[in-house]
Structure 1
Amino acid sequence: MERVEPIRSVKKINDLKKYLLGSGNMRNYTLVVLGLNSALRVSDILNLKWGDVFDFEENRFKTHVYVKEKKTGKNKKFLLNQNATGAILKLKRKLGHINILDYIFKSREGQNKPITRYMAIKIIKSSCEAVGIKEHIGCHSLRKTFGYHSWKKGVPIPILMELYNHSNQSITKLYLGISQDDIDDVYRLIEL
């Protein structure tokens, strides 16, 4: 598997979201926004059903989502932040009727099947290209982008390690995609 990079520019992230929102395809917009705000692997995002994020009895979004990670088998709990909830709400409004067992990112092929990983990567890559994101982008870029921007805002690596369910810090450090520019920023910041 090729190594992919996070999207380091907040402006480019905002351009990407505006582009997807402007396209009118709420499924694709929600896929990217949820990916950027959940730190989930794309395989776990694609397996989400409406019952995972929406409480049908209370008629409201859940505050936390529980998933069993497909790759590791570990349980993960994450907060649906305002951006993620807002994107899912836009999709819900666009769809109208949803069912507790429906996949959120439903494919147009077949009855109730999620889009494929291949389709997700196609959506992510083509959208990034459309807004001029030059980094080597893949599905994991969304997950890495979350970590990179968390780290830039001062979230300690041990917290990110726990968030990602990583067994050691070296894996988490790889996820952060620290560049020479980031290292140079430290030298600019610390002038003793």
Structure 2
Amino acid sequence: MQQVSPIKNKDDIRAMYEVLKSHSERDYLLFSLAIHTGLKVNQILNLTVQELLDEDNDIKYNWSNEDKDFIKVVIPLHLRSSLLSYIKYEMLQRDDFVFRSIKTKKQLSRQQAYRIIHVAAEEVGLHNIGLYSLRKTFAYHAFKSGISVSIIQKYLGHQSLLETLKFIDVTTIKKETTIELNI
């Protein structure tokens, strides 16, 4: 199995947005939700409208992994708005899968999701991009934004910091830390 990489460059992410949006709103939202939440692909493909909505029928403000230390991930306003518009436009019911096949209206398969992401990455000129790249992209950019590796490790359910660093393709941490105690 070929090793896949996170999408590290934000310009490449923007290019992926453009390509996927030109294909379909569904494809764009699949990619966007994945890289903003770090959910596993099977979690995203199994996601129902009901799981995305709060009690007021708005898209949830954040996503939490309550079974793992209750870490919350905020879903950006533009993404919440796009998801709500998509749900309304597609006339999805609460028990419908969010990401469905355009032809069959059934749950999008893992193979279809892979093809969507892989073809878009090829169009953008990115290589070694697959479904795991989405979760890796989330983790990489969380790390780059200053979230500690230990928090990312817990969120992803990894056993060690080294596993997480390898997952996000970071070999060294170049952060100056000063500890000064006056006890």
| TM-score (normalizing by structure 1) | 0.79
Residues 1:81 and 2:75 aligned together: yes
Give RMSD over aligned pairs. Answer: 2.5
Q: State the Cα distance separating 1:2 from its structure 2 match.
A: 2.6
Q: Which runs of 4+ in 1 moved over 3 A?
A: 64-68, 74-80, 108-111
Contact 1:34 1:87 (C-alpha < 8 Å) held by counterparts:
no
Structure with higher strand content: 1
Partner of 1:63: 61
Contact 1:54 1:60 (C-alpha < 8 Å) held by counterparts:
yes
**Using the alignment, how far apart are the partners of 2:80 and 2:118 within structure 1?**
23
Contact 2:60 2:75 (C-alpha < 8 Å) held by counterparts:
no
* Aligned residues with identical type, % of pairs: 27
Partner of 1:71: none
| Aligned residue-pair number | 174
Could you tell me which amino acid in structure 2 is paired with residue 116 of structure 1? S
Partner of 2:47: 48
Q: State the Cα distance separating 1:138 from its structure 2 match.
A: 0.7
**Using the alignment, how far apart are the partners of 2:149 and 2:119 within structure 1?**
31
Contact 1:26 1:91 (C-alpha < 8 Å) held by counterparts:
yes
Contact 1:26 1:94 (C-alpha < 8 Å) held by counterparts:
no
Residues 1:106 and 2:77 aligned together: no
Q: State the Cα distance separating 1:16 from its structure 2 match.
A: 0.8
- Structure 2 gap ranges (5+): 177-183
Contact 1:26 1:90 (C-alpha < 8 Å) held by counterparts:
no
Compared with structure 1, are the counterparts of its residues 77 and 120 closer, same or farther at alpha carbon in structure 2 (3 Å cutoff)?
Answer: farther
| TM-score (normalizing by structure 2) | 0.83
- Structure 1 gap ranges (5+): 69-73
